Structure 1
Amino acid sequence: MRQTLLSRGYLRLLLLSALLGVPVALACFFFVALQQELQDWVWQSLPEALGHTRPPWWWPLPALLLAGLVLAPVLTRMPGRGGHLPVHGLGGPPVGPVELPGVVLAALLTLPLGVVLGPEAPLMAVGSGLALLAVRLREGPPDPRADAVVATTGSTAAISTILGGPLTAAVMVVEAAGVGGARLVALLLPCLTASATGALVFTGFGHWTGLSVGALTLPSSLPRAGPDAGDFLWGLPLAALIAVLISLARGLGRRTAAWTATRTAWRVITCAAAVGVCIAAYALVTGRSPAEAALSGQATLAELAGDPHAWPVAALVALVAFKGLAWGISLGSLRGGPVFPSVLLGASAALACSGLPGLGTTPALALGIAAAATSVTGLPLTSSVLAVLLLGRAAHDQMPLIVLASVVAVVVTRALSRDGGDDRSS
C-alpha cells in the first residue's frame, strides 16, 4: 500500500488530478451558467416580454415540443446519442471526447426548455470527457487502469460542483466503487484532489462573476427541530411510500425507454410533447406557474423549503402526480440527470404529509430528500450525506431520521426491483 501511494506513477496521477480539477470546474461553471441563463430567458424574460407576469399554463406545450424536435437529430445522428438514458442511472459509462459534443448539445438545447431532468449527468460526462482528452494528449503507452481512474476523477470533480461539494462526491465514489482497502484509497485520493481544486475554482468563479449556477441548495434559515416519536411513527412509512412512488416513476421510464428504442426520433418528440402536457396540466389544475413542475426542480425545492406553508396540500399532491409522471417519461426518452427532480418529488410528498399529528416540516423535508435520493441512486450513505449537507444546521437533530429513512428507502426499492439485483446508479 505505502509503495503504491509513494510510487512515481501514482504521484504523477495525483498531480494530474489536481490540475485536471481546474479545467473541469471551469467547463462545468460555464456549462451550468449558460444553462441557467437560457432557462431564465425561456421561463422569465420571454414571458415578461410577451406581457405575462409568469409563464401561462400553455407555455410548456410549445417549449417541450421544441425540445423534442431539437433533441431528435442529436440522438439519431451524433456520436454517443446525446448521452446515456437517465433511467439507467446517474453517471453511465465514461464519455469520450468524440461523444462529448453531442451530450453537451443535447443538454443545452433541451434542459432550459423545461425537460424534467437535472444537469448532473451531463456534467459528469463533461468531466469524464475532458479527463479522457487529457489522457489521450499525454505521451507514452496507454494504461487502461489509469485511464479508468482519471475518467472517474473527472466525473467526480464535475458532480462535486453542484451536488454538495467534494465530500458528497467522495462518499459517492466510496459507496459506488464496491471496493475496499488499498484499491479504494488509490481511487479515492485522486477523486478528492480533483474535487477539492475543482470546487475551489467553481466557487471562486461564482463569486467573481455573480452568475447563478443552479446548484442544489436550500435556505440557511430552516428551523431546527428535534425529532420525536411522531416523526418516526409517520416518517418511516412515508419513506417507504416515497420509495414506491420513485420506483413507479422509474418503471414508467423503463417502459418508455423500450418504446423509444425503435422509431426513436418521432417517439422522442412524442414523449417530449407528453411531458409538456403533464406540466401544463399541473398549471391548469392548480392555477400556479408551470415552471414549478418543469425543469430540474432545484429552484422550486428552495422555494418550497423556504416557505412550505405557502403551498396548499392539494398543490403539493398535484406537483408529485404531474411532475412525477413527466419525470418518468423523461427518464426513458430525454437526456439529463435523474437526481434533482427526484429530490423535489420526495420533499413535496413528505411536506404534503407534514400536517399529520407529530410530523414537523423540517423532519418531513429531511426524510423526503434522503428517501428520494436513495431510491433513485441506490446509495443510502451518499444520500444521507447529501441530505445532511443540504439542511445545514437544521440537520444535526435529524440525522437519525435521515439515516433510517435512507435504509427504509433502499430496502423497499430493492424489494420492488424486478430482478432484486444491485440497483446502484453511479
Structure 2
Amino acid sequence: MTTQPAPANAVPDRAEQSLRRTLLSPGYLRLLLLCVLLGMPIALACFFFVGLQHELQHWVWTALPEAVGYDDPPWWWPLPALVLAGLILAPIVTRMPGGGGHLPVNGLGGAPVGPRALPGAVLAALATLPLGVVLGPEAPLMAVGSGLALLAVRRAGAAGDPKASAVLATAGSTAAISTILGGPVAAAVLLIEGAGLGGAQLVALLLPCLLASATGALVFTGFGQWTGLKIGALTLHDLPPGANPDAGDFLWGIPTAALIAVLITLGRGLGRRTVSWTRERTAVRTVACATAVGVCVSAYALITGRSPAEAALSGQATLAELAAHPHAWSVGALVALVACKGLAWGIALGSLRGGPIFPAVLLGTATALACSGLPGFGMTPALALGISAAAAAVTGLPLASAVLAVLLMGGDAHDQMPLIVTGSVVAFVVAQVARRTEPGADGGAATGAGR
C-alpha cells in the first residue's frame, strides 16, 4: 500500500490557516485596538516634541542672531552653541539611565527605549538638536514612540507578555517615525525590510504598525493645521524641472551612487572610531567632540560665506532649499558642505545623540548635485539618485530607501524610478563591500533601521 504524497500547496494552506487563527484570535484583535488607541496619544506627544524642537531651533539660529543684530548667524555662531551642547549632553550620557538614547552610529536598530531611559533621550534631543549637532530627530522620535508604548503596557498590567510588548513598542516607534518620513507607507516598508520577517510573522507585525502609524499621521496632519506649528518633516515642496533619465544619467549616476556609498561608509567608520575614543573619560571627550563638530560647521561658513545653519542642522530645510534652488549653490559650496558636514556627522555619530538618516540624505544629495554638471547628468535625476543612494548606504535597506526617494520626488518619481532603484542597489552593494567591520563590531552596532 503506497502513501499518497501531500499536495504541493499543503504547506501554504497550513500557513494560511495559522495566520487566520492568529488574526481572528481575541488577543490579537485586542492588540490591534490597543495600537489604534495608543497611536493617537503617541502621535500627539511626538507632534509637540518635534514642534518644540523646531521652535527652539528657530530661536537659536534665526531669532537670537537677529536680536543681536545679525541677519544670518555669523561664522563663529556654532562654536559656543556646540560647546554648550556638549556641556549639556555630557552629564546626560554619563549619569542618566539609558545614556540619552542609542548611539547614532548604531542606526535605528537595537532594543526599544523603555520608560526608564525615555527622559534622558528626550532631554538629550531637545537640549542639543536645536543647538546644531548635525543629527536628525528620527531616533529620538522612535524612542518617544517605543517608550510611551511600553509605559502604557506597564500601566495596563500587560508587561508580562513579552511578544505583545515587543509588537506595541515597534508599533509605537513606527507611528512616531512615520510622521516625518512621509506617512505610514515609508515607515511600513522600512519595517518590512528591517525586520527581516516573512509570511504570517510579517503580517502579524505589520498590521498593528500600519494602524498605529496611520492614526499618528492623522493626528499630525490635524494638529499641524490647527496649531500652525512646523515640525520640520522630510518633504520637498519644489523640485527642478522634470527630465526623463537617459544614458548619460546612468553613465554618471552609477559611479556617483558608489561615491556616495563610500563617503557614507567613511563617515560611519569615523563614528565607530569616535565611539572607541569616548569610552574613557566620556564626559570630557563628549564635550571635545561637540566642539570639533562646531569647528567643522564654522569652517563651512568661513569657506563658503553661507549660513552655518546649513551644515549645523539635521538637513531637512537645506535639502528642500537644494531641491528648490539648485543653481544657487556653486560646486565649491556643495563640496565644502559634503566635506565639512560629513566630517562633523562622522564625529557626531559616535559621541552625540540624534538620528543618522536625515544628514546622510543631505550629504548624498549634495554629492549628486555637485556631480550634476557632468555632461549628460541632469539635476533632477541627480537629486533622485542622491536621496536613494544615501538612504540605502546609511540604513542598509535598499527597498525602503527607494520608496522614500519616490515619495519625496512626488510627481517626478515615475520618470526617475529606474535611476532611483539602480542608485539604491548600487549604493547598498558598495557600502557592504566598503565596510571593514561587521555591523555588530562596536557595542552591538546595527546596520539599518530595525535590524
Is TM-score (shorter-chain normalized) higher than 0.5? yes
The correspondence for 1:258, drawn from 273, 276, 284, is 276
The correspondence for 2:112, drawn from 83, 91, 94, is 94
The correspondence for 2:192, drawn from 165, 174, 184, is 174
Matched, 1:146 2:170: no
Amino acid at match of 2:448: R
Q: Tell me, yes or no, if the aligned pair for 1:25 and 1:158 is still in contact at 8 Å.
A: yes
**C-alpha spacing 1:3/1:355, structure 2 compared with 1 (3 Å):** same
Identity across the alignment (%):
75
Residue 340 of structure 1: aligned partner: 358
Matched, 1:13 2:37: no
Amino acid at match of 2:391: A
**C-alpha spacing 1:369/1:163, structure 2 compared with 1 (3 Å):** same
**C-alpha spacing 1:140/1:231, structure 2 compared with 1 (3 Å):** closer
Q: Secondary structure at the match of 1:53?
A: coil
Q: Secondary structure at the match of 2:124?
A: helix
Amino acid at match of 1:350: A
Measure the CA separation in 1 of the matches of 2:240 and 2:158: 53
Amino acid at match of 1:243: A
> 1:312-331 counterparts in 2 under 5 A?
312-331=330-349
Measure the CA separation in 2 of the matches of 1:226 and 1:409: 21
Measure the CA separation in 2 of the matches of 1:194 and 1:167: 12
Q: Secondary structure at the match of 2:312?
A: coil
Residue 299 of structure 2: aligned partner: 281
Q: Tell me, yes or no, if the aligned pair for 2:82 and 2:294 is still in contact at 8 Å.
A: yes
Residue 424 of structure 1: aligned partner: 448
Matched, 1:357 2:375: yes
5+ residue gaps, structure 1, are none
The correspondence for 2:97, drawn from 64, 71, 79, is 79
Cα deviation, residue 205, structure 1: 0.4
Matched, 1:388 2:388: no
Amino acid at match of 1:423: T
Q: Secondary structure at the match of 2:110?
A: coil
Matched, 1:190 2:208: yes
Cα deviation, residue 424, structure 1: 2.8
Matched, 1:51 2:69: yes
Measure the CA separation in 2 of the matches of 1:205 and 1:141: 31
Q: Tell me, yes or no, if the aligned pair for 1:168 and 1:386 is still in contact at 8 Å.
A: yes
> Deviations for 1:155-200, whole angstroms, at most 9, x for unmatched residues?
0000000011100000011101111100000000000000000100
Cα deviation, residue 319, structure 1: 0.2
Measure the CA separation in 1 of the matches of 2:244 and 2:374: 16
Measure the CA separation in 1 of the matches of 2:159 and 2:426: 47
Count how many residue pairs are aligned between Structure 1 and Structure 2: 426
> Deviations for 1:123-153, whole angstroms, at most 9, x for unmatched residues?
0000000000111111357111111111000
Q: Tell me, yes or no, if the aligned pair for 1:220 and 1:391 is still in contact at 8 Å.
A: no
Greater C-alpha radius of gyration: 2
Residue 244 of structure 1: aligned partner: 262
Q: Secondary structure at the match of 1:293?
A: helix
Measure the CA separation in 2 of the matches of 1:88 and 1:219: 31
> Deviations for 1:84-117, whole angstroms, at most 9, x for unmatched residues?
1000112431011111000000000000000110
> Deviations for 1:69-90, whole angstroms, at most 9, x for unmatched residues?
0000111111000001000112
Residue 66 of structure 1: aligned partner: 84
Measure the CA separation in 1 of the matches of 2:151 and 2:106: 25
Cα deviation, residue 379, structure 1: 0.3
**C-alpha spacing 1:60/1:419, structure 2 compared with 1 (3 Å):** closer
Measure the CA separation in 2 of the matches of 1:39 and 1:418: 36
Amino acid at match of 1:217: T
The correspondence for 2:150, drawn from 107, 114, 132, is 132
Amino acid at match of 2:273: R
The correspondence for 2:52, drawn from 34, 51, 54, is 34
Measure the CA separation in 1 of the matches of 2:418 and 2:438: 27
Residue 428 of structure 2: aligned partner: 410
> Deviations for 1:376-409, whole angstroms, at most 9, x for unmatched residues?
0000000000000001001110001000101001
Cα deviation, residue 419, structure 1: 4.1
5+ residue gaps, structure 2, are 1-18, 440-445
> Deviations for 1:214-252, whole angstroms, at most 9, x for unmatched residues?
000112444221110000000011000000000001000
Measure the CA separation in 1 of the matches of 2:325 and 2:238: 12
Measure the CA separation in 2 of the matches of 1:335 and 1:46: 24
Cα deviation, residue 203, structure 1: 1.0
TM-score, scaled relative to structure 1: 0.99
TM-score, scaled relative to structure 2: 0.93
> 1:219-238 counterparts in 2 under 5 A?
219-238=237-256
Measure the CA separation in 1 of the matches of 2:301 and 2:155: 50
> Deviations for 1:255-297, whole angstroms, at most 9, x for unmatched residues?
0011001110000000000000000000001111111111101
